[in-house]
Structure formats: C-alpha cells, structure tokens
Structure 1
Amino acid sequence: MTRLTWALFFVLIPAVSQAARPLVTDDARLTNAHACQLETWTRQYEGGQEFWALPACNFGENFEVTLGGGRYEDRADNYHTEDWVAQFKTLFKPLESNGWGWGLAVGRVMHPDIQPGPNQLGNTYFYIPVSWSMLQDDVVIHLNLGMLRDRQQSQNKATLGVGSEFQMGQRLRGIAEIFGDHTQAPFYQLGVRYSIIPNLFQVDGTIGQQVNGQSQDQWLSIGLRWTP
C-alpha cells in the first residue's frame, strides 16, 4: 500500500476504538462502570505490519474514554508511521438481550507522520452506533453511521459500518462486517472470537481486504481483549 492509501485506511480506525474486537464496526455497549479494559492486536500484510493498543475506561456510569495508538512498519520501503486516537462515547439506550440500543461517539485520530504541519491536529469524527440483539444474544447486528473531517484534504467523509457477531460454540463467536467511507471502495473482514476466560480474557483473529482490492493488500489480524 502507498502512504496515501495507509492514510485513508487509518482514517477508518476510529471505528476500532471501542468495537468489541475483532469488529471494526462499533457496538452500543460500554466498558463496565468504574472499570477499564484493554484491546491490543496486530495486523499482518504482505509488505508490512501494524500494532495497536487501545485502553478504555468508563469513569462514571455512562461515559467512556479511549486513549491509545498504533504503529505501522513497512518492510519493503523501511519506514514506519504512528497514529494516535482519543475518543469519547456515551449511550442513550444501552443494548439489552433481545432488544436494541444506540449511542454517540466523538473522537480524533492523528497521523503525525502522514499529515505534517497544522494537519497534525488530526481528523475529527463522530458516529452513531446502533445494535440489535436476537435469539438471546446468539446473533447481534451493529450499524454505524458517521462523518469524518479530513483536514489534509479539506473534505467531509460519510462513514458507514455494518457488522454481525453470531454464536458458533459455547465460547466461540463468528464475526463478519463491511465498513468504509463514501470516497473509496469499502473494506470487509471475517473472523472468530474465542473466550479463554469468559467475560474476562479473549483472543480473536480475522482475514480482510478492500472490496475490489489487490490480493497483496489482504490482512491477517490477531488480537487480545482483557475486560475485567
């Protein structure tokens, strides 16, 4: 991928901020009240790799703050970029079993290596996460609608994500989703999430690619999620 392509891809990373790994599309849930969680993962590409760590804390009953970042390393051209994310999220209707919920997330993602000068202030974004639970949470559907202000291109971008998670076993859930913005072809990924210790520690993995993209731009992601 070129540096410009990476800039466009990382613009979509805010949706990662509080989606339940390995989903990029966010859900209408929060970290437990007065508690914190940590999500960390790596994505491997043919020509490089990226690493992310996103801790999040719910300081009250309904106000979650995420502060974290990632690093991409290009093996072929021997360069790296870093990205930083700050996000605030609240719910207007928490998701309940066999019900639905929705909320609002607002944040900023900064690409200091890709966006020099005043653009280092980053791209501001917001989105509305909506979730539906069915069959006693065996199937959950998520929808994100939002907008991002691309400072470097002086352009507003409409963002969309549709994701699903479904029970495959006692501790195993599958995920499938598609996400992107209106200026380029969307991305998709498929994967699984396995609970090593239910409600506390999970591992996950996905494969993904841009729709109509090149095979060398496929990724494999492996992640960990700790939710005390």
Structure 2
Amino acid sequence: MTLALLPLAAQADRPLVTDDAVVLSPGTCQVEASASRGPGQRWLAPGCSVAEHWEAGIGVGNVRSGGKYHRAIVIGAKAVLRPLSEEGIGVGAAVSEQRIAGPEASRDQAVSLIVSVPLAQWARAHVNTGAVRHGISHQRAATWAAALEATRGRGALTLETFGERGASRGWQAGGRWTLVKDVLDADAGYGELHDLDGRRRFATVGLTYTFQR
C-alpha cells in the first residue's frame, strides 16, 4: 500500500500515482512537496534529468504506521524507451527502492513497464505493469495501474486505479493547476484504498517546482 502512494522521483506529474512515459527535459530538475491524510505521509522529492531520456531522484519523508510517523526514503530512476508523441505511443521503464525505519523496518524494490497512449490533443491514457519485492516477507507480487489524463489550458484532471495483486487496490481522482508556466504547479487528489485493514479514504495536496540547473 505504501509504495502505491509514494511520490517517486521518477514519476508522472502529480497527483498521479500511475507513471507516464515522459521524463524531464535535459538540464532540468524539479522538486515535489506533498502531504496526504488517510495513510498519513509527508514527502519532499527532488529529481533531475541525468541523460537524454533518463531521469533519477530521491525522496525523503515520514510515513504514518501504528499511530506514529517513521522516517522513509525512496530512490528511483526512469528511462524512456520510445518517446511519446501526438502520433504514437510512448514506452518507458522505472525502478525504485523504498526504505522505512521503525520497529517494522522495511526495504522494498519495485520495477514497472510504462505505456502512454495519446487519445487526443487534450487527453492521454497511461498503463503500468510491474512487480514489487517486499523486504520483510521476501514475497513478490504483481503491480498494476491505469489512468486517464485530460488537459485544458493551465489545468488538468486525472482519474486512475492501481493496486498490488493479493494485497491492495485503490482509485484516485485529482486535478493539477499551473501557477507559473513551466515553473510551478499545484495539485490535489482524493481517493480510496482497499487492503487488509479495510477501506480507507485519503486526500493529497502538493506543489511541484521545476528549474534549469
């Protein structure tokens, strides 16, 4: 469940959990700050383009478990194998590792294949399929996510579903607004998680700052 909500440095534009086959432009970096209620989380995640069609980053934050917040860190990288265009699909791949401190310290690794499909000038679909390995149980499980994204002017609306086989599933609806073009975006999302603890609602808010290094 925790992996599904992390703002991985190699991730799509917030508030999407589903990744897209797009990376930062060469020479560009961004910093994402976010917070969520439900499964409480607070994150600061900087990332940068490291080569053409590659980006990498690291996220640091706090994740709530058992009524307490625990330190967490996640590192991730994403590569675009086929660039997304208005005429053709985009394909990418991402890897990440997450560590959470505390009495139940965990170290999980995840990998995913990403496909993005242009539906119209204002709409895209994204599909992820992958796997996660949980460090505590040493178990592996398939993961999946799918999203629709519609943009108009400075705004964007998203709707997605995601999950881990045999463990959790969820959905989220969200919106994004550009405050300063190519520099600063604000976002918010609302959704539900279904896992071993039952059904839980969550809400997220965030800011993304992009700059040239």
Displacement of 1:78: 5.1
Distance 2:37 2:109 in 1: 27
Instruction: Indicate conservation of the 8 Å contact 1:195/1:202, yes or no.
Output: yes
Displacement of 1:99: 2.3
Q: How large is the RMSD of aligned CA atoms in angstroms?
A: 2.1
Matched, 1:72 2:57: no
After TM superposition, where is structure 1 displaced by more than 3 Å over at least 4 residues in a row? 13-17, 211-215
Displacement of 1:40: 1.3
1:144-183 matches, cutoff 5 A: 144-167=128-151, 169-183=152-166
Displacement of 1:13: 3.9
Q: Could you say which structure has the higher helix fraction? A: 1
Displacement of 1:129: 1.1
Runs of at least 5 residues in structure 1 that lack an aligned partner in the other structure:
1-8
Q: CA 1:79/1:226 → structure 2, altered by over 3 Å: closer, same or farther? A: same
TM-score by length of structure 2 reads: 0.89
Matched, 1:38 2:17: no
1:201 to 173, 179, 184: 184
1:49-198 matches, cutoff 5 A: 49-73=40-64, 79-113=68-102, 115-116=104-105, 120=106, 122-136=107-121, 138-167=122-151, 169-198=152-181
User: How many residues were matched structurally?
Assistant: 209
| % same residue | 25
Runs of at least 5 residues in structure 2 that lack an aligned partner in the other structure:
none
Instruction: Indicate conservation of the 8 Å contact 2:8/2:74, yes or no.
Output: no
Q: CA 1:158/1:214 → structure 2, altered by over 3 Å: closer, same or farther? A: closer
Instruction: Indicate conservation of the 8 Å contact 1:123/1:150, yes or no.
Output: yes
Instruction: Indicate conservation of the 8 Å contact 2:8/2:58, yes or no.
Output: no
Q: Deviations over 1:92-128 (max 9, x none)?
A: 1011124210111112111122544xxx5x1111101
Displacement of 1:227: 2.1
Distance 1:78 1:13 in 2: 18
Displacement of 1:12: 2.3
Q: Which amino acid aligns with 1:67?
A: I
Distance 2:41 2:7 in 1: 16
Q: CA 1:73/1:109 → structure 2, altered by over 3 Å: closer, same or farther? A: closer
TM-score by length of structure 1 reads: 0.84
Q: Could you say which structure has the higher strand fraction? A: 2
Matched, 1:24 2:17: yes
